[in-house]
Amino acid sequence: MTLSMYQASVPVFVRGLENLGNILAKAATHAEAKKIDPAVFINARLAPDMFPLSRQVQIASDAAKGCTARLAGVEVPSYPDTETTFPELQERVAKTIAFVTGLTASQIDGSEDRVVTLKQRGEDVRYRGQDYLLKLALPNFFFHAVTAYDILRHNGVEVGKADYLGKLP
């Protein structure tokens, strides 16, 4: 059995986004229970030169919606990066899931050889659809999702590997 571009993208992004949303919910609950200003977590970083939690979530969202839109040959939706609270971040995750799940297999399947052009450092860089998905978009998505997890874990939110991976179907 072969794995289609749709199967390798949409369900993977949706699962990761759902798990990210659940982790954000745990962080909000933790902040409330411990009487910690949620902004402490929203603005937390792993290192001074890394983005804060809010930006990690935004970039994970951008990776998922950008990749699936490009593979489907539709315009990438633009979301303003203005989230400063857990509810706003969770809404962005939900909005991204809604967009991604609104794309059909017939829109994405067959995009293995579709040329995806991105602006990187001011230059157009072209990828084959399959290379873009497997070598850039998915690794980038997972990097930012796990960094969001790591920021919260590092700051005392009780999340573990099972929260990051989620329940198996």
Give 10-residue mean pLDDT values along the chain (169 residues). Answer: 93 98 98 97 97 98 98 97 98 98 98 94 96 98 98 96 88
Neighbouring residues of 57: CB distance < 8 A, sequence distance ≥ 6: 20, 24, 83, 89, 92, 93, 144, 148
The pTM of this model reads 0.96
Q: Which domains does the chain have, with CATH numbers?
A: 5-165 (1.20.120.450)
Residues 108 and 71: beta-carbon distance below 8 Å: yes
Confidence (pLDDT) at 1: 66
| CA 76 and chain centroid, separation | 14
Instruction: State the Cα–Cα distance between residues 88 and 79, nearest whole angstrom.
Output: 12
Side-chain half-sphere of 146: how many Cα atoms within 13 Å?
9
